[in-house]
Amino acid sequence: MLTKSRVTISPLFLILTSKLPEHRNLRAFFMVVIVLWHGFNIVVHIFLLILMFLFVFFFFFFFLMYGIIKKIKNNNLRAFVWCDLIGGCWVLTRQGLTKKKKKKKKKKKKKKKKKNTRENKQEKLDKEEKEAWKINLTKLTMNHLDPEDAIFLVDAFLDECKVDQHGQTKGGSKQSTKLCVWPDEDKDGQPLPKRCRAGEKRKRDSATVSSASVKSVSCAPSTSTTEDTVIIENFDSLIQDVRELLGSGDEQSFPSEWRNRQTTSLENWTVMRPFMVNNMLSSEKPKEGVCHHCGHKAAVVMCRDCLPRSLYCTACDLSTHEALVLHNRASMVEGFFRQLPPSTFVQQHEGGKFSYHEKDCMLPIVPPCCDCSTGQTSFSKGKPVILIGMNGRYNLFLPSVNCSCGKTLPVTISDLVESGYWPATVNFETLYMVDLFTTYEDLKITAPGMSRQAFVSMLECRTKLFGRSGKICGDTMQRAFLEWAYAKFEVDKLSQVQHFQCPACTPSMLAVAVDGNRKLYRFKSQPGPDGFFDGVFLANDADVSSFVDYIHETTGHNPGKGRCGAGQWTAARESANKSGSKLDEEGVEVAVCRHGVLLKGLNMFRGEIFAYPLYLQKQLASQTIQFFCSDVVCKYWPYLQKVVGHCPELEDLLNMRPFLSIMHAKAHSWMCELKWGGRNQEGAGTTIGEEVEQVNSFLSRAAICSKYMSKAVRTDMLTIQASGWNKRKAENLDRTLAKRYIKTVQRIAEATKDLEKLTTELSLQQDTVQQWVSDVQQWTSGATIQNDLQRTIEGLYLGIKQRKFQLYRQSGGNKRRHQLRRKIAVEKKALEVAINDHNATVGEVEKLPPPNELLAVDNYSWPWECHGDMERKKNVFDKVMLLARLKEEEFIVVREVKQHMEYMRSVAGLIEEFTFQLTEDTTGKCSTEGLMEKGREGLLCVLKRRLREVEAQLAKARTTYRSILGLQTLPLDDFSEEEDSENTSSTDEELGE
C-alpha cells in the first residue's frame, strides 16, 4: 500500500505541485503516475523508466524528422520520405517480433524432442515385451501345454496388445466374452483340426488388435464331451494371427554369438587391465612367511619350479636343491627377487644377516649300476661340463660314481643319452637336452625362416634372465643337432617310417608335379664334407650331373629358350651354361604328388633345363604314375619324345600323359591351354598341377638362411624340413580327403545346374553340345595363319603375363624384381604401339582393346584365331569339361581313400612281422647286425610304440571315412587344409576347389 510519508516527501511531487498550478489536467496525470510509481517494486520502476525513455526518444526523433521533412517543398518527395520512414519502422518492428517467435519455436521443439525420447524409450520397451511374447508363443504347442494354460497365455497376450494400441480411449469398446465348446479329440488327447467356415477371411490391416480378433464359435457337442467345456476354435489359426502381428513390426538385428563373445572379452579386459598392472607389480614383492617345508623358519628363497610349496629357508633350500640343480630360484633377502644360479646358495649368520656362497653342482643323471649286488653308490665331483637346455646354459660338474665295494664307475655316453642328454663331442664336455633339439626342429618346420643364430641368442637371453652367465656356440649346437637328427632318421627307418612316400598315392599315383624354385640358391663357400642326408631327398649332385651330360651328348641340345606360341619361357630350355655369378646352387627342382607330399628333389646348377625334370621323372618311373604335370609341358613333351628316340631305355616315361598346370596355363596361348591344359585331360579329375607351388612357398621361407649355409648343412636342413612337411601332411591326410570328397559332391550338383542353365539359355540339345565339344577339340589341332604384327602382339601379351607370374615366385630379392618391372614397362609400351598399328589396319569388329584391358583377361581370344561362334562353343566346352572332371574326381578320391587304408594296414602288418622276427631271432641276424642286445630291446619298444600310433591313425581315418562315404555331417568347419595355411600368397588352391 501507499503510505502518506512516502507521498509527502517525494521530491517529484513537490516540483509538480509548484510548477504546474494552472494545468490541472496535466497536474492530475503526473500525480497518478507518481502514485503508481510509489506503489510498485524496483522491477516495475525499471520497466517504466525504459518505456519513458523510449517514448521521449521517439518523440524527439519524429519531431526532428518533422522539422526536416517540412522544409522539403516538393509534395511528392515529402510523401515518399514519410512512407519510407514509416515502412522502415515497420520492418524493424516486424524483425524483432519474428526473432521472438523463432525463440519460442525452438523452445517448443526441445520440449517435443524430450517428449518423443521418452515415448521412444517406452516403445522400445513395449517392443521388447512383444518379442518376449513372440518367443513364448512360438514355443507354445498342444503337445507341451495344457489347453487351459494355452488359452490363458493367449488371452493375456491379446490384452497386452490391446493396452498398447495408439489412440484407444479408456471408454472404448469392451471385449465380448463368449463361451466356446471343446472339439472332438483323437485317441492321444489331441484336438482334431477344423477348417474355417466358408466365407471367413482373416484380415489384418494394421498391427493393432481389436476385440474381434478372437472369434468364439459354438460347435455342436460331441458324444465324448459335455456342454460345459470350452475351447478356442482353430487354435493354430490364432497362433498364426499372433505371429503375423508380431512380425509386422521392424525386426531387430541381433549380433552374432562370436561378436558377443569378442565384445564381452574386450570389455572384460578393458576393466581388468589396470588390475593386471597392479597384480604384476604386486607379484614383484617378496612374500614374507615361513618355510613351506620345515614350517618354522623364515623363508628366504622362492622356487617357482617347486609350486605349490615354493618358499624355502636356507637349510631346506640347500638340502632340496642339491639334487634339483635345474630349478630356477630367487633370493628374497634384499627386498626383491634376485635370481640365483644353481651354484649359489644363501647362508644366514648371527644377528639375522645373510650372505651368498658358492657350491659345486653336479649334473643330474641316471647313475650307472655296479656289478656287485650289495654295494651302494655315492657321488663326487668330476670334470666340469656345460649343459644347454631351453632355459639356457648351466655350468655344472659331471658326477663321479663311487661304489662301496671300492669301484669307481665312469659316466659313459650311453648313461647320458639314457638321461635325456646329447653330447656335442665324443668327450661330452658340452651336453644338450634332447628337449632342446625337438623344440628347435619343430621351430624350423613351423617357421623355416628362423635362423640358428636367432635361436642361440634367445637361449643366451634366457640364461641371463635366470641369473646365470656364459655364451653358447651356434656352430657346435648345429653340428650336434644334425647328428641327433640323423640318428633319429635311422631309428625311424628301422621302425618302418617312410618320410618321402604318400600313403594315398601308393601304389598307384594319379599325378606328379615338377617345378623349380630359384629362390633356394646358395652362395659359393669353401668345400666341406658331405651331408648326413645326401641322396635321401635331394639327389646326389654327381649322379645328376652325369645324367645331364649323358643326355646332352646323346641327343645334341638346343641352347635357345623354349617358346610357347609367340611367348618365351625361361624354364623351357634344353640346356644352359653354368652361371658365372657368385652362386653355387642356383635353386632346387622338386617333385610332389597331388596331395602336396614331397617325393624327390635335386640341386640346379644351370637354371631350369629339361634334363632336370627328366631325371626326376626317371627316378619316379618305378611307381605307377598317370600324369606328369609341368608349367611348360607343351615344350617338355616334344623334348621327351626326342630324347626317347635317342635313348630307348627311357621309353617307359612316355606311358605318362602330359598335364599343363592350371594356373600356368593362363600365361600360355589359348590353343595351348585347350590342348595341354589339365582341365581338358580325361581321367585327371580336378588335379590342378600347382601343388608344387604350395610346397615352394614353404621351402622359399628357408631361403633367407640356407643361402649362407655350407653345402652339407643346407642339404641336411632342407631334408629335415621336407620330412617335417610330409609328416604333417600324412597326419591330416584323412581330413584332407574327406573335405575334398564333400566339396566334390557339392560342386557336381552346382556344375550340373550351371551346364543346364547355359544350354537352356542357348537352346541347345544334347547332340548339339557334343558337336560343339568336338568342334573345339578339332579346332585346337588345326593351324592358324598369323602375320608378323599379330605374332608380335601375341608374344608381347604372353611375355608380360609370364613375367608378372614370375615376379614373386622366381625372384628372391628386390633387385631382380626391379629388373622384371622395368622389362614389363618396356614391353607394355611396345604392346601399345603394336595394338595401335593393328587397329589402324582392321575393321571395328577386329580391333583390340588397350593394353591394360587386354592384360586383365586370361587367355584372350584373338580375332585372327577365334572365328564365328567359337567363343560360345568354348564356354560350353569348359562347362562340359568341368563337370566331367568333377565326376572323375569323386571316383579318384574314393580310390585314394582305399589306398590310404590299405597302406596303413600294410605298415601295421610290416611292424608286427618285424617285431615277431626280432622276438624270435636269437642269432641277431634279423637285418640288425649292427645293433647290440640293448639296442634290439630298445627297437622292440620303438616298434610297439610305432604300432600303437599307426593303429590310432587307422582308427581315426576309419571313423572319418565312414562318415563321408555316407555324406554324413563332419565337424570339418574348424579344419583348414595344410596347403591353405601354408600358401597364403597363392591362389592356386582356389582353382582346385
What pLDDT was estimated at residue 479? 94
Please indicate, yes or no, whether residues 592 and 701 belong to a single structural domain of this protein.
yes
- More confident of the two residues 289 and 351: 289
Residue percentage of the chain with pLDDT more than 70: 66
952 compared with 26, residue with greater pLDDT: 952
| Nearest residue to 682 (alpha-carbon basis) of 752, 636, 626 | 626
**368 belongs to a structural domain:** no
Confidence (pLDDT) at 813 = 62
Same domain, 922 and 947: yes
Measured CA to CA, the distance from residue 691 to residue 592 in angstroms comes to 7
Is 114 inside a domain boundary? no
Residue 224: pLDDT above 60? no
Look at residue 238 in the predicted model and tell me its pLDDT.
Answer: 52
Between strands 354-358 and 338-340, the pairing is: unpaired
167 pLDDT higher than 50: no
Q: Is the pLDDT of residue 140 over 60?
A: no
Query: Euclidean distance between the first and final Cα of the chain, in Å?
Result: 101
Burial class (CB in 10 A: 0-12, 13-18, 19+), 67: exposed
Q: What is the mean pLDDT of residues 914-930?
A: 73
d(CA 164, CA 245): 13
Which are the contacts of 853, defined by CB distance < 8 A and separation ≥ 6? none
What was the pLDDT predicted at 209? 37
Q: Are residues 453 and 541 in the same domain?
A: no
505 and 489 in a common domain: no
Domain boundary among 224, 250, 276: 250
Most confident range (mean pLDDT) of 61-65, 318-322, 924-928, 987-991 is 318-322
Q: Are residues 150 and 245 in the same domain?
A: yes
269-to-224, 263, 265, 277 alpha-carbon distances in Å: 65, 10, 6, 12
Model pLDDT, residue 513:
93
Give CA–CA dist 517/498, Å, rounded. 24
The predicted-structure confidence for 795-833, as pLDDT tens digits, reads as follows 677 667 666 666 665 565 666 677 777 777 887 788 888
Contacts of 717 (CB under 8 A, 6+ apart): 444, 702, 705, 706, 709
Q: What is the pLDDT of residues 762-790, one digit of tens each?
A: 888 888 888 888 877 776 665 555 566 77
Q: What is the pLDDT of residues 870-892, one digit of tens each?
A: 667 778 888 899 999 999 999 99
Question: How far is 39 from 2, CA to CA, in rounded Å?
Answer: 6
Mind listing the pLDDT tens digit for each residue in 35-76?
666 666 666 767 777 877 777 777 777 777 777 766 666 666
pLDDT given for residue 200 in this prediction: 41
Q: Give the model's confidence band at 893: pLDDT under 50 very low, under 70 low, under 90 confident, else very high.
A: very high
| pLDDT number for residue 27 | 61
Indicate the helix (H) or strand (E) that contains 161: helix 147-163
- Is 90 exceeded by the pLDDT of residue 674? no
Residue 78 covered by a domain: no
Does the global pTM surpass 0.75? Answer: no
Angle ∠(857,859,861) on CA atoms, nearest 5: 95
Higher pLDDT, 33 or 761: 761
The more confident residue out of 975 and 500 is 500
Lowest mean pLDDT among 105-119, 631-645, 671-685: 105-119
Do 445 and 565 have their domain in common?
Answer: no
DSSP letter, residue 246:
H
Q: In the Cβ-directed half-sphere of 501, how many Cα atoms lie within 13 Å? A: 15
Listed residues 459, 493, 527: the one ending a domain: 493
Same domain, 693 and 785: no
Distances (CA, A) of 127 to 122, 124, 138, 139, 874: 9, 5, 16, 19, 57
Which residue, of 695, 715, 730, is where some domain finishes?
A: 730
Cβ pair 728, 744 in contact under 8 A: no
pLDDT in the model for residue 75: 67
Please enumerate in sequence order all residues whose Cβ is within 8 A of that of 620, keeping only pairs 6 or more positions apart, or say none: 512, 591, 599, 600
Within a domain: 265 = no
For residues 513 and 613, state if they share a domain. yes
Residue-range definition of the domain harbouring residue 951: 888-992
- Spell out the SS3 assignment of 64-111: HHHHHHHCCCCHHHHHHHHHHHHHHHHHHHHHHHHHHHHHHHHHHHHH
pLDDT (tens digit per residue) in 239-252:
555 455 445 444 45
**Hey, CA dihedral for 390, 392, 394, 400, is it positive or negative?**
positive
For the stretch 476-514, pLDDT in tens is: 999 999 999 999 999 999 998 999 999 999 999 999 999
Q: Do residues 711 and 528 lie in contact, with contact meaning Cβ atoms separated by under 8 Å? A: yes
Q: Are residues 533 and 587 located together in one domain of the fold? A: yes
Number of domains in the chain: 6
- Find out whether 316 and 346 touch, Cβ atoms under 8 Å: no
**600 in a domain, yes or no?**
yes
Nearest to 220 by CA among 252, 253, 183: 183
Residue 182's pLDDT is what?
A: 45
pLDDT digits (tens, 9 = 90+) for 530-570: 889 999 999 999 999 999 999 998 887 665 454 454 444 44
Residues 594 and 470 in one domain: no
Give every strand in the sheet of 329-331, ordered side by side: 311-312, 301-303, 329-331, 338-340
235-244, 356-365, 399-408, 780-789: which is most confident? 356-365
Average pLDDT, the chain: 77
CA atoms within 13 A on the CB side of 430: 18
- Is pLDDT at 975 greater than 80 in this prediction? no
pLDDT digits (tens, 9 = 90+) for 240-291: 554 554 454 444 555 678 888 899 999 999 999 989 999 999 999 998 889 9
Please work out, in degrees rounded to the nearest 5, the angle formed at the alpha carbon of residue 424 by the alpha carbons of 370 and 458.
125
pLDDT at position 923: 57
pLDDT of residue 655: 92
Q: How far is CA 912 from CA 493, 904, 916, 940, in A?
A: 15, 12, 6, 10
Please tell me the distance from the alpha carbon of residue 589 to that of residue 570, in angstroms, as a whole number: 14
- 724 phi and psi, to 5 degrees? -65, -40
Q: Is the pLDDT of residue 687 over 60?
A: yes
- 65 in a structural domain: no
Q: 749 or 111: which carries more pLDDT confidence? A: 749
Amino acid present at 683? G
Q: Is residue 796 part of a domain?
A: yes
Element (H, E) at 127: helix 75-138
pLDDT tier, 596 (very low <50, low <70, confident <90, very high otherwise): very high
384 has a pLDDT exceeding 90: yes
Same-domain pairing of 582 and 694: yes
Q: Answer yes or no: do 822 and 955 share one domain.
A: no
In a domain, 909, yes or no: yes
